[in-house]
């Protein structure tokens, strides 16, 4: 067994990360990725806003690094997170981003929080309830810029207008994934459920986790009566978002997973209403 002298134990360990760098290259974002952590999301519930949904998030944490510094202190990101060892709350994400910036003595800090979120949906005819999971991401920035972007990925169904028009019977349809990114006006609350409900109406029809035969008949016929190209879907998404004054910027796109092609169809619209 090797024993280090008490004198050597008292010597401070070298901090290489805090040393200087001569290459004069600033780093936009440096930090840790793919940190799994529990998070609680406030939900509208009964309208009081005092109910929560608990889930597990994948978290990315970054700061900006000036060209004069060799490295950042990676362990400090986890220290900031561990200070909230009971789990994160959606209300405290801005506070967490500020704490990262202060703890790492950085000009800017960035936080990305991605998690599955479950919405209860009733089947269209039988009204049997089921849980539909969607992918949600919050992106926050603190420092030289203050920013918050909410992203939802929403599954839906599209039916091809061209196929319906040229076919003697039937029409090919496909699952589509609609993605919406929004920036919300300052001081405004905007529930995940609200944005989800607005956007899923823009497809030919919606998807459900529980469908009995009467529900399946309704969904099939609804899609047939409401055919849409991928271009139609994103234009309807854009109009819906454009007409809501709570949203100041949006990007929306849809990817339709074609059933009769080996490729997918895609369209995107972006608008910054603050520029108008």
Instruction: Check which CATH number belongs to the domain holding 206 and give it.
Output: 3.10.270.10
Higher pLDDT, 177 or 51: 177
Tell me the angle at which helices 192-200 and 230-242 cross, rounded to the nearest 10 degrees: 140
Residue 276 predicted with pLDDT over 90: no
* Predicted TM-score (pTM) of this structure: 0.89
Indicate the average pLDDT of the chain: 90
* pLDDT in the model for residue 72: 87
pLDDT for the residue 4: 57
181 neighbors 112 (Cβ within 8 angstroms): no
Q: Which residues pair with 114 in a beta bridge?
A: 58, 137
**DSSP, residue by residue, 119-154:** EEEE-TTT--EEEEEEEEEEEEEESSS-EEEEEEEE
Among residues 88, 111, 134, the one where a domain terminates is: 111
Classify burial at 234, counting beta carbons within 10 Å of its beta carbon; exposed 0-12, middle 13-18, buried 19 or more: buried
175 and 231 part of one domain? yes
Summarize pLDDT for 208-241 with one digit per residue, the tens.
999 999 999 999 999 999 999 999 999 999 999 9
Count Cβ atoms below 10 Å from residue 18 Cβ, excluding itself: 11
Q: Is residue 1 part of a domain?
A: no
Q: Are residues 155 and 103 in the same domain?
A: no
CA distances from residue 41 to 16, 49, 80 in whole angstroms, order as listed: 39, 10, 19
Res 6 pLDDT > 60: no
Q: Does one domain contain both 106 and 206?
A: no
Q: Which residues contact 175 (CB under 8 A, 6 or more apart)?
A: 155, 156, 157, 207, 256, 257
- Tally the domains of the chain: 2
153 and 51 assigned to the same domain:
no
In this prediction, residue 220 carries a pLDDT of: 93
Residue 235 within any structural domain of the chain: yes
pLDDT of residue 132: 95
Alpha-carbon distance 256 to 173, whole Å? 9
| 151, 276: one domain | yes
Residue 57 in domain: yes
Mean of pLDDT values over 40-64: 88
Q: Taking residues 10-33, what's their average pLDDT?
A: 79
Shared-domain flag, residues 165 and 103: no
Alpha-carbon distance 211 to 70, whole Å?
A: 57
Facing residues of 181 across strands? 151, 251
Range of the structural domain that residue 92 is part of: 28-111
User: Which pLDDT tens digit goes with each residue over 122-176?
Assistant: 999 999 999 999 999 999 999 998 999 999 999 999 998 988 899 988 888 888 9
- What beta strand segments (E) does 160-246 contain? 173-184, 205-206
Domain-embedded: residue 8: no
Residue 17: the pLDDT is: 63
> Does residue 92 lie within any of the structural domains?
yes
Task: Verify that 93 and 158 share a domain, yes or no.
Answer: no
Region 237-266: mean pLDDT is 93
Looking at residue 5, its pLDDT comes to 56
Q: What is the mean pLDDT of residues 115-127?
A: 96
pLDDT > 70? residue 107: yes
**Which pLDDT score is estimated for 124?**
95
Q: From residue 139, give the alpha-carbon distance in Å to each of 34, 93, 249.
A: 14, 10, 14
Q: Are residues 82 and 196 in the same domain?
A: no
> Do 81 and 180 fall within a single domain?
no
Pairing of strands 27-43, 88-89: parallel
Report whether 233 contacts 203 (CB < 8 A).
yes
- The reply to whether 173 and 271 lie within a common domain is yes
Least confident of 39-48, 73-82, 114-123, 130-139: 39-48
How does residue 260 score in pLDDT terms, banded at 50, 70 and 90? Answer: confident
- pLDDT score of 12: 75
pLDDT in the model for residue 217: 96
């Amino acid at each position: 067994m090797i024993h280090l002298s008490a004198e050597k134990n008292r010597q401070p360990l070298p901090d290489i990360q805090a040393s200087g760098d001569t290459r004069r290259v600033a780093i936009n974002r440096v930090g840790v990725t793919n940190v799994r952590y529990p998070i609680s999301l406030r939900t509208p519930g009964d309208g009081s806003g005092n109910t929560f949904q608990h889930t597990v998030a994948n978290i990315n944490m970054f700061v900006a690094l000036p060209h004069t510094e060799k490295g950042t202190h990676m362990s400090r990101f986890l220290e900031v997170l561990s200070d909230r060892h009971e789990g994160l709350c959606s209300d405290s994400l801005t506070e967490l981003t500020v704490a990262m910036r202060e703890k790492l003595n950085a000009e800017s800090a960035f936080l990305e929080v991605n998690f599955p979120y479950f919405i209860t949906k009733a089947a269209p005819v039988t009204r049997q309830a089921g849980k539909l999971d969607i992918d949600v991401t919050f992106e926050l920035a603190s420092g030289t810029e203050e920013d918050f972007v909410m992203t939802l990925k929403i599954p839906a169904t599209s039916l091809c207008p061209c196929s319906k028009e040229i076919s003697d019977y039937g029409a090919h349809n496909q699952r589509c994934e609609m993605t919406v990114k929004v920036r919300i006006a300052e001081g405004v609350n905007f529930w995940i459920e609200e944005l989800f409900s607005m956007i899923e109406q823009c497809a030919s029809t919606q998807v459900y986790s529980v469908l009995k035969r009467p529900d399946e008949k309704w969904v099939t016929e609804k899609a047939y009566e409401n055919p849409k190209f991928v271009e139609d879907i994103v234009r309807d998404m854009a109009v819906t978002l454009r007409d809501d004054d709570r949203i100041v910027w949006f990007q929306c796109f849809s990817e339709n997973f074609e059933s009769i092609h080996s490729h997918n169809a895609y369209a995107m619209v972006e608008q910054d209403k603050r520029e108008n």
